[in-house]
Amino acid sequence: MGEGEEPLRRLYESIINKKIDLNIPNIFQKQNGKIKRPSEYFFAESLDNLPFPDYRLKNSYLFIRGHNEIIKIPEEALKKRKFFGNSFLFYGQRGCNFSCTYCSNSLYHKLARDSKHKWHRLASPQRIKKELKTHLANLPFVNHIAINDDNFLVRNAEEIKNIASFINKDLGLTFTINATPPFVTEEKISLLVNYGLRGISFGVQSGSERILKKIYKRFVTNEQVIKAANIVSSFKDRGLKADYGFILDNPYEDNNDWRDSLKLWLSLPQPKTLSLYTLEFFPGTAIAERALKDGILPSLRSEFNKDYRRDIKYNYANSLFYFNTINIPKCINKLFMSDFMVKSRVTLPLRIIINRYPIDFAIRLINKSKYEFRKLLNLFHAKTKNA
């Protein structure tokens, strides 16, 4: 549990030397039928000191989940391109500066703190530039960088400019980022857009301040989300787009909570897209422990094979969110969110119809197809290559 660089190195040496090392950090052991926790935990003090991930991909293989197949990753540049696509997913941070109850980051924050380490760490701009340059030498077909840090904007304006200008001027690429609304400023967004930023994704999670504060322990207000959205929207003529993510299937939500989320989404300016996720109860998180205690979650085993994009439940509230992935008129939303539609027994048959057929089902099918297409395409190319 935790980071793997040092533990895996020591485990490898233990296997090669045929000597059992019972003191490897981060690795749990089973002795005499009992699980033994590691006596110490490893967290890299500086991300700059870690070796680069190896994208030469020589004699490398990939396990295709769901197909139970192991396939060889092609080494030739053209076949690599078909396998990976043109976009490169990159991390310049580890962890997150938030510690929300539903997120695995909260576990690592506690683990790092208890072992006198720091969970949220940033690689320096110098390290990021060297690493990207190395990766693109091995992946010359890449034309876009997707920076997947939880909150790229936690950096100061000078670091942001340093990294963005390198991607734009030295590499000649565009890029996208993730961010948390309170960290959005006009200065930072202007800098990023000038250097090729094309999209920004926000994890809003909920528009209910009750859920955010009392259930998720996520201290972001709707006002902060709206302010950030307005700043991003002011750059729409420069080609900047925003995506907003919301968590569904929260058993602690009531009809007012999910309607608050939908109202917040509707209040956000264009251009925008909507991403939807089911709430996953990660073992050990505060919300998972609470759900077990309250009898809402029978066991954590039901969560093991859950897909946070695909396995969103069929219900009336979720259907309205799916409708908004195609931007239905606000007047229709207002009707569907009214107390009459949400609570009245008279409208129950209509809610059942809206719940599953036919529009919601079609929209889900389209979204699922988009989600699965990339994996199937990769599998097809890999099989073609190995045939």
Q: What's the pLDDT tens digit per position in 164-179?
A: 999 999 999 999 999 9
pLDDT bin (cut points 50, 70, 90) of residue 23 is confident
Percent of the chain having pLDDT more than 90? Answer: 58
Decide if pLDDT at 331 tops 50. Answer: yes
Q: Determine if the pTM surpasses 0.85.
A: yes
Q: Which residue has the higher pLDDT, 354 or 227?
A: 227
Per-residue tokens: 288: 């998972």
Residues in Cβ contact with 138 at an 8 Å cutoff, skipping those fewer than 6 apart: 55, 56, 57
DSSP 135: H
Give the count of beta carbons closer than 10 Å to the beta carbon of residue 150.
19
Residue 74's pLDDT is what?
85
**CATH classification of 44-317 is 3.90.1150.10, yes or no?**
no
- 46-50, long-range: CB within 8 Å, 24+ apart, which pairs? 46/121, 47/93, 47/94, 47/121, 47/122, 47/123, 47/127, 48/123, 48/124, 48/126, 48/127, 50/5
pLDDT at 18 over 90: no
pLDDT at residue 10, rounded to an integer: 86
SS3 of residue 310 by DSSP: coil
**Higher pLDDT among residues 305 and 382, named by residue:** 305
Cβ-contact 182, 220 below 8 angstroms: yes
Instruction: Report pLDDT for 4.
Output: 86
Q: How many CA within 13 A on the CB side of residue 315?
A: 13
Give CA–CA dist 120/3, Å, rounded.
12
DSSP H or E segment with residue 29: strand 29-31
pLDDT at 375 over 60: no
Confidence (pLDDT) at 280: 93
* Span 37-55, pLDDT tens digits: 877 788 888 999 999 998 8
pLDDT greater than 70 at residue 272: yes
What is the model's pLDDT at position 367? Answer: 61
Does pLDDT of 386 surpass 50?
Answer: no
pLDDT of residue 385: 43
Using left for φ > 0, alpha for ψ between -120 and 50, and beta otherwise, residue 32 falls in left
Lowest mean pLDDT among 156-160, 218-222, 248-252, 325-329: 325-329
Please indicate whether residue 204 or residue 118 has the higher confidence score (pLDDT). 204
pLDDT digits (tens, 9 = 90+) for 54-89: 888 888 888 877 677 888 888 887 788 877 888 999
Quick one: pLDDT band at residue 369, thresholds 50, 70, 90?
A: low
User: Domains of the chain: which residue ranges?
Assistant: 1-42, 44-317, 318-362
pLDDT band at 156 (very low <50, low <70, confident <90, very high): very high
pLDDT in tens, 273-329: 999 999 999 999 999 999 999 999 888 887 777 888 888 998 999 999 988 888 788
**Residue 320: per-residue pLDDT:** 92
* Structure-model confidence comparison of residues 263 and 63, the more confident one: 263
For residue 340, is pLDDT > 90? yes
Q: Which of 226, 331, 319 is nearest to 276 (CA)?
A: 319
Which region holds residue 284: left if phi is over 0, alpha if psi is between -120 and 50, else beta? left
Write down the mean pLDDT value for the chain: 88
